Structure 1
Amino acid sequence: MHDLIIVGAGIVGLAHAYAAARRGMDVLVIDRDAQANGASVRNFGFVTVTGQERGKVWRLAQRSAAIWRQIAPDAGIAIEQEGLFLVAQRPEAAAVIEAFSRTEMGEDCTLLSAAEARAHCPQLTGEVSGALLSRADVRVESRTAIPLLARWLEEAHGVRFQRGVAVNSVATGLVRLSDGSFVKGGEIVVCPGDDWASLFPREYTTAGVTRCQLQMLRLTAPGWRLPAPVMTDLSMIRYLGYSALPEAEALRLRLERECAAELGYGIHLIAVQSADGTLVVGDSHVYAATPPPFTSEAIDAAMVGQFSALFGGAPPVIERWTGTYASGPQHSFVRRPMPGVRLAVVTSGTGASTGFALAEDVISQLYE
């Protein structure tokens, strides 16, 4: 019998495994896939603190980034980039970052003039009205970081993994598997991401959860390095840390006139760089209970267009992919569907950014 059984080996499940293993607990993680394959490896690997929703979510992101920095060296995970370079293309966006810098969220950020922004990143060729530099954020390569994290939990913390088998049902102290077997645990935490049809569908319905599909691109190495992960004006009306500020309304109105197609696709530019120099660029947000599996060339072209508007062109695309994640009206939801069982789901696309801190809270509630 295990102290804790975790269903789901994405970043949220692994974060719960780490929080429990630190307490010396015997932890078993069960996942239907043979290896990491879902939302946790289909994103930027960008642990975004700056711009997260003011208050609790921002504090969760701060704590999670600190944990990433702490465990990454031990787990063999490279920190590919640090910080955020938020470029204000329009004067209205410059007003947003100036207002943001006056809040507690912007205390450790640096405002740059247009000339200073171009000096900081000489590759900028498009319209620039200013920039914000933050040191709070961290980027890892998600497709390698998640497997390395799981291996480290297994080797250094004794977490056991049972892969390639689905969970058919969960009851107090008992998990039944698709191969007909069952395992017993003192406590159970279910972290199924956007798989609401298999376990606790009613909880997802009451939480108002649907799916968000994103498209991502990898571009050929351009021969230069980004100073940090890059975001632009469209991010300022999507990330609640900026968009909730009164100054964001003028920017929103201008973008609705100038970027209607991008807003319709839910696009906001993020560009990050990998160790080999290639660029990961995205992303889009299309919502449906079951999004179609087909990529849209119009969405890819719009994302490349946003990159080109900032950097004067884009290298060739060498890789394309999609991903889906659970999306709801809140950052996350944690439910107790029955005694001894917790359902923990991040519903804002911020699992890598906030999952470690959320898991600390859930495990503390379970055992304290």
Structure 2
Amino acid sequence: MTSSVLGSVDVVVIGAGIVGLSHAHAAVERGLSVAVVERDEWATGASVRNFGHGCVTAQDGEALGYALAARREWARLARDAGFWLGEDGTLVVARADDEFAVLAEFAELRGEQVRLLDAADVARKAPVGDGVVGGAVLPLDVRVNPREAVHAIATLLAARGVTFHWATTAHVIEPGEVATSRGTLRAGNVVVAVGHDVDRHFPELAERRKVRRCSLSMLRVADPHGREVGPAVLTGLSMLRYAGFAACPSLAEVRARVERRHPDLLAAGLNLMFTQLPGGDLTIGDTHDHQRTLNPYVAEERDELVLAETARLLGVGSLTVRERWRGVYASAPEPFLVETPAPGVRVVAVTSGIGMTTALGLAPVVLDDLG
């Protein structure tokens, strides 16, 4: 074990993505001293590679509770850390009658959380192609710029006394201390928030919880219409992926139609959606591939599928690509992983692709349990 001692704190957090920072934030709110260990020079994982979408309303069960609590924290952190927060909600575009039926059923279930729109209202909110039959606005949903927000939160936490050990790898995690590549940190409690890399530290735990890596095809494209789009934009394919819609009887009809007419979209796990970055470019995506070890070679067909379907949604012939990347997040049968592999050690991961939506609500619950 490394002999030099970096310090002693109440809580050591391993991982400076949104899950780790949420726990550091919750600990500081309790008046605890905190150190964050991050293997890279800045957060480079799922927390900066996503849509920046706080998809609150489409959640269900405990995820919905965490999302609602997280929304309040996003508003407070945006004010305190000075990053942009969009509060125009989410626009769900229905391009078939069965999709609009799902939205109508969802509105019955959620009341004021869902506002139905006709096709003309949808067109006023976002540029969409032909074939739109209606839609809905989910006004509670929020947006941030993921390339800015996580870094701003880390800067705010540093100003509030959190010690960050960047470019530092956690080697050995034991009750009361963490041995890193730069020395040992002593701690009353340890939170391990390393996302899909939980198997690097606790392989048996990861195997038991069936944690895999989910790879996403995502792109930044020029806005072909040159207009501001306030809300995040989801489609009928999104309804198949978010738990909140599962209670809607008409969802079975949507799934059957897509399976019959577009099996390739289901095979790719396409969640057709986009958000707009400051400056106008669109973040578009995304496909889903699940493996324990990701194949480093990604077929161009996945990006082509995303581009073609997004162009069709926007009613244009083609799109100009600015950037391409692979998002990666932890995936498992249960949406949240919270485990205690040793006394005073919590392993925490959002294993459903909704870390930005829920982490700020999940972290206080974990900290309460740690005492």
Equivalence map 1:75-94=2 (5 Å): 75-80=81-86, 82-94=88-100
Please say which of residues 239-248 and 321-330 is displaced more in the overlay: 239-248
Say if 2:17 and 2:46, in contact at 8 Å, map to a contact too.
yes
* Alignment match of 1:33 (pick from 16, 40, 62): 40
Q: How far apart, CA to CA, are the structure 1 residues paired with 2:235 and 2:345?
A: 41
Report the Cα offset of residue 62 of structure 1: 1.1
* Deviation of 1:107 (Å): 2.7
Distance in 2, matches of 1:67 and 1:224, equals 29
Contact 2:87 2:140 in 1 (8 A): no
Confirm or deny that 1:360 pairs with 2:349: no
Q: CA deviation at 1:80?
A: 4.1
Secondary structure of the 2:141 match is: strand
Q: Does 1:308 align with 2:311?
A: yes
Structure 1 residue 81, shift from structure 2 partner: 5.4
- 2:338 alignment partner in structure 1: 334
| Structure 2, unpaired ranges of 5+ | 1-7
Structure-1 residue corresponding to 2:248: 245
Q: 1:174-210: per-residue Cα shift (whole Å, max 9, x none)?
A: 111134x211001111111111332111111111111
Amino acid across the alignment from 2:85 = I
Output the CA distance in 1 between the equivalents of 2:144 and 2:358.
14
| Mapped partners of 1:118, 1:28: distance in 2 | 48
Counterpart in the other structure of 2:4? none
CA drift at 1:247 = 1.5
Q: Distance in 2 between matches of 1:278 and 1:70?
A: 26
Runs of 4+ in 1 over 4 A off after TM superposition: none
In structure 2, what is the Cα distance between the partners aligned to 1:226 and 1:138?
Answer: 13
What code does the residue aligned with 1:304 have?
Answer: L
Q: Which moved more, 1:284-293 or 1:91-100?
A: 284-293
1:266 counterpart residue number: 269
2:102 maps to which of 96, 101, 109: 96
Distance 1:117 1:176 in 2: 54
**2:222 aligned residue (211, 217, 220):** 220
Matched, 1:234 2:241: no
2:152 is matched with: 148
Match of 1:114 in 2: 119
Amino acid corresponding to residue 15 of structure 2 in structure 1: G
Gaps of 5+ in 1: none
Conservation of the 8 A alpha-carbon contact between 2:57 and 2:113: no
Alpha-carbon displacement from aligned partner over 1:208-262 (angstroms, at most 9, x marks no partner): 1111000111011331122411000100111111134221000000011222111
Q: What percentage of residue pairs aligned between the two structures are identical?
A: 37
Q: Distance in 1 between matches of 2:155 and 2:230?
A: 30
CA contact 2:94–2:135 (8 Å) conserved in 1: yes
Out of 1, 13, 22, the residue aligned to residue 6 of structure 1 is 13
Q: Determine the C-alpha separation between the residues in 1 that align with 2:38 and 2:253.
A: 46
Q: Is the 8 A contact 2:230 2:276 kept in 1?
A: no
2:193 equivalent to 1:191: yes
- Equivalent position amino acid for 1:87 in 2: V
Looking at structure 2, the residues matched to 119 and 148 of structure 1 have their Cα atoms a distance apart, in angstroms, of 33
Is contact 1:80–1:275 with CA below 8 Å preserved after alignment? Answer: no
TM-score by length of 2: 0.94
The normalised TM-score by structure 1 is 0.95
Contact residue 199 and residue 206 of structure 2 kept, 8 A: no
RMSD: 1.3
Match of 1:198, SS?
Answer: helix
Decide whether the 8 Å contact of 1:29 with 1:161 is kept in 2.
yes
Contact 1:194 1:211 (C-alpha < 8 Å) held by counterparts: yes
Report how many residues are paired.
362
One-letter identity of the residue aligned with 2:308: G
Moved more, 112-121 or 223-232: 112-121
Deviations 1:328-351 (A, max 9, x none): 011111111111111111100111
